[in-house]
Amino acid sequence: MKARIVVLGGGFGGVYTALALEKLLRGRDDFEIALVNRENYFVFQPMLPEVISGTIGITDVVSPIRRLLPRTTLHLRDVEAVDLERRRVVLSPGFRPHAHEIEYDHLVLALGNVTDFRGLSGLPEHAMPFKNLGDALALRNHVIRCLAEAAVEEHDAELRRELLTFVVAGGGFSGVEVAAELNDFVRAVLSNYRGLRREELRVVLLHSQERILPEMAEPLALFAQRMLTRRGVELRLKTRLAAATGTAAVLAGGERIMTRTLVSTVPSSPHPLIERLALPKAKGRVITTGELEVDGHPGVWAVGDCAQVMTPDGATAPPTAQHAIREGAVVAHNIVASLRGGPRKAFAFKGLGKMGSLGHRSAVAEVFGVRLSGFLAWWLWRTVYLMKMPGWGRRLKVAVAWTLDLVLPPDLIQLRVGGTRGLSREHYEPGQEVFRQGELGDRLYLILSGEVDVVREEGGASRVLARLGPGQWFGEMAILQMTIRSASVRCATPLDVLSLPREEFGVLATHLPDLRQRFDALAAERQAAPAVSTVVAPEEVARPDAAVSARE
Ligand SMILES: Cc1cc2nc3c(=O)[nH]c(=O)nc-3n(C[C@H](O)[C@H](O)[C@H](O)COP(=O)(O)OP(=O)(O)OC[C@H]3O[C@@H](n4cnc5c(N)ncnc54)[C@H](O)[C@@H]3O)c2cc1C
C-alpha cells in the first residue's frame, strides 16, 4: 500500500513542499504525492505588480505546476472541506457534479491567506483585490480602459476626474509596490492619449499608520515615502478606508475620494477553510510545533501564510515567500523521516532580509542587516528574485523582458477576457446617485437593502416621485420603453442593489412572457401614481406607503 501525501495549495508553501518531497523520495515507488490547487500554475507573487505595467509578460510570472512537479498528481479543484477524523479531503465537483474525495496519510496545509472585504461596506462590490494573476490582469485592463475613456470624455469633468484618479489602500509591501507600478505605468503611457494632461493624473496611496512599510526600518520607509511622493504618488497617512462605492473611496471620517479605481491589498485575513478546521490556531493561523506538525494531529502539517510558525528567536515567522519556501523543505524532510524513520528537523530559518520595489529602478532593501535604497537596492531586488524564479526558461524570459523594458515603451494592449458585466451587486452611499435623469437606460435594479428617492427635475425644481425600499425594482421604465432615464434615483440611506444589464433583461423578458407582463404592469402603475411631494432636498421626504412607487 502506497503512502499518500496530500498538499493543499499550489503557492510558495505547497509547491516547494512537493518539490522537496519529489527530490527526497526520488527512485521510490511506495508513496504518492497529490497537490490540490485552483489554478494549474504557480504564481511568483513578488513580481505580480509588474504585470500592471506590462514590464514583464502576463505568463512570465507563472509556471505550470505539472512541469515543475512531474511526479505529483495535480488536482485542479477547489478544496471544499477537510475531514480530519476520516483523513480525507473533499474537493469541488469537476465536469460531473459529484464530490471528489482523496484520502491521505500525510496532509500539508498550504492554502495561504485571503484578502477579505466581507463586512466592509461596498468593498466586496467595488474594490479590486491584488493577490493573484487574475487580479493583476483585471487591474491592468481596467486602468487602460479608464485612460481610454477619460481621453474622450469632454462633457463630464467630474467623470473625467474620477477616471484619472487611482486609489490604492494598504501601505505594506504589496500596496506600495502596486501604487508604484501603477503610477509609473499611467505616467509612462500618458503621451499615447491625446488630450490627457499629466496634472490630471492622481495616484493616491492610503495607509492607516504613521508611515508606510511598517516592516522596514524607519529610514528606509521614509526613503520610500520621499521617492513615491517625488514621482507624483499622493500619500495619505493615518487614513483608513471605511467604505467604497462605484465612484468613490470613502474614508473614515466621511471624506470621499472620487475614483473609478480602488485597489485594496488589505485586510489580509485567515483562509475561511482553515478557520473552519478544528485545529489549534492563533489569529486564524494553524499553530505548529517546531517541526511544523500540528500538535495533537500526527501527519497534519502546515506551512506558509496559513501557519503560525515560531522562529528560533521566539518570534512568529512573517508571511513571506522566503519563509514559506524554507518551511516547505522542513516539512518534506520531516514527512520523509516519518515514512522512512530517521531524525526530524526543527524550523530554524531567521530570514535573509526584506526588499520592496518602488518601481522605476528604485527599491529599498535590508539584507543581512545592511540597509540599501535606490538603484543598488533595485538591482539586488531584481537579481535575487530572478534567481529565485523556478526554472531557467522562466528566468530567461523575465531577463529578456526586463532588458527590452529598458528601451521599449510600455505595452498598452487591453485584453477583454472577462466578457461583459452581467448580474452584479453594487453598493451606494447616502446622497449618491445611482443614475441621473437624461442618461441612457442600461441596467435594471433590485433593492436588497436601503432606500432610494426617485427624483425628477422639471423647470428648475426637484420633485420626489417615490421612495423605494427592499424588494422593489427601479430602472425598468427606460429599458422597457428604450428611452433615456426620465428621473434620477438618489440614495436616502446606504444602498445595496442587484443590477441586471439591459441585454440580459431583454433575453429574460423575451423568454418569460409572465415577467415581461409584470414589468409592463409595474411601469403602467408607476406612470399613473401621483408624485410623493415637491421638494428640493431629499431628506425632507416622508416615506410613502407601499402602493406609491417609482416613476422613472
Ligand atoms: C502582490 C504580492 C507581492 C508579494 N511580494 C513578496 C515579496 O516581495 N517577498 C516575499 O517574501 N513575499 C512576498 N509576498 C508574500 C508571499 O507571496 C506569500 O507570503 C507567499 O505566497 C505565501 O505562500 P503560501 O503558499 O502560504 O500561499 P500562496 O502563495 O498564496 O498560495 C496559496 C495557494 O492556495 C490556493 N488555494 C487557496 N484556497 C484554495 C482552495 N480552497 N482550493 C484550492 N486551492 C486553493 C491558491 O490558489 C494559491 O495557489 C507578496 C504577496 C503578494 C500578494
Note the pLDDT of residue 393: 86
Q: Is 79 in the pocket of ligand 1 (CB under 6 A)?
A: yes
Contact of 421 with 503, CB cutoff 8 Å: no
Ligand 1 atom with the shortest distance to the CA of 304: 26
Ligand 1 close to Cβ of residue 381 (< 6 A)? no
Region 122-130: mean pLDDT is 95
Q: Tell me the residue length of the chain.
A: 552
Query: Which residues on neighbouring strands pair with residue 274, listed in sequence order?
Result: none
Q: Are 33 and 22 in contact (CB under 8 A)?
A: yes
* Ligand 1 pocket mutation pick from 6, 7, 12, 213 by most atoms within 8 angstroms of CB: 12
What is the CB neighbour count within 10 angstroms for residue 58? Answer: 13
Taking the C-alpha atoms of residue 127 and residue 108, their distance in angstroms, rounded to an integer, is 32
- Residue 12 CA to ligand 1 center (angstroms) comes to 6
Q: Is the CB of 76 under 6 A from ligand 1?
A: no
* Grid coordinates belonging to 175: 500596496
Amino acid 544: pLDDT: 33
Model pLDDT for residues 158-213, shown as the tens digit of each residue: 999 999 999 999 999 999 999 999 999 999 999 999 989 999 999 999 999 999 99
In 391-547, at which residue ranges do the beta strands (DSSP E only) sit? 424-428, 433-435, 443-449, 452-458, 461-468, 473-474, 488-491, 495-501, 533-534
Whole-angstrom distance, CA of residue 310 vs CA of residue 411: 43
Cβ 13 under 6 angstroms from ligand 1: yes
Q: Establish whether residue 45 lines the binding site of ligand 1, counting it when its CB lies within 6 angstroms of any ligand atom.
A: yes
Per-residue pLDDT reduced to its tens digit, 14-60: 999 999 999 999 888 889 999 999 999 999 999 999 999 888 888 88
User: How does residue 411 score in pLDDT terms, banded at 50, 70 and 90?
Assistant: confident
For residue 78 and ligand 1, the question of a CB distance below 6 A is answered with yes
d(CA 240, CA 170) in angstroms, rounded, equals: 9
Q: What is the pLDDT of residue 199?
A: 95
pLDDT-derived band at 342 (thresholds 50, 70, 90) equals very high
| Substitution site in 39, 48, 137, 320 for ligand 1 pocket (most atoms within 8 Å of beta carbon) | 320
pTM listed for this prediction: 0.85
Query: What is the per-residue pLDDT for 97?
Result: 60
The per-residue b/e assignment along 374-413, b for 16 or more CB within 10 angstroms, e otherwise, is eeebbebbbebbeeebbeeebbebbeebeeebeeeeeeee
Q: Taking Cα atoms as reference points, which of 116, 18, 119, 117 lies closest to residue 71?
A: 18
Whether residue 410 has a cis bond before it, omega within 30° of 0: no
CB contact set of 394 (below 8 Å; sequence gap of 6+) = 44, 60, 63
Closest ligand 1 atom number to CA of residue 10:
49
| Residue 174: closest CA among 146, 125, 207, 138 | 207
Q: What SS3 state is found at 34?
A: strand
Pocket of ligand 1 contains residue 67 by CB under 6 Å: no
Are residues 376 and 356 in contact, defined by beta-carbon separation less than 8 angstroms? no
Angle of helix 375-388 versus helix 392-407 axis, rounded to 10 = 150
Confidence grade of residue 98 (pLDDT, cut at 50, 70, 90): low
Other beta carbons less than 10 A from residue 499's beta carbon: 20
58 alpha carbon to ligand 1 midpoint, in Å?
17
- Give the mean model confidence (pLDDT) for residues 434-461: 92
Average pLDDT estimate for 482-501 = 92
Average pLDDT over residues 529-545: 43
The stretch 249-253 carries a mean pLDDT of 95
Q: Atom 3 (ligand 1): residue with closest C-alpha?
A: 46
Ligand 1 mean position to 233 CA, how many Å?
A: 27
Residue 542 confidence (pLDDT): 34
450 Cβ below 6 A of ligand 1: no
How buried is 546 (Cβ within 10 angstroms: 0-12 exposed, 13-18 middle, 19+ buried)? exposed
Rounded distance from Cα 175 to ligand 1 centre (Å): 15
Element of type H or E holding 202: strand 202-206
Q: Is the CB of 328 under 6 A from ligand 1?
A: no
What grid cell was written down for 335? 514527512
In this structure, which residue's CA is closest to atom 20 in ligand 1? 321
Atom of ligand 1 lying closest to residue 15 CA: 25
- Give the burial string for 304-319 (b: 16+ CB within 10 Å, else e): bbbbbbbbeeeeebeb
Structure confidence at residue 539 as a pLDDT band (50, 70, 90)? very low
With 80 as the cut, is the pLDDT of residue 260 above it?
A: yes
pLDDT category of residue 392 using cuts at 50, 70 and 90: confident
Q: Measured from the CB, is residue 46 less than 6 Å from ligand 1?
A: yes
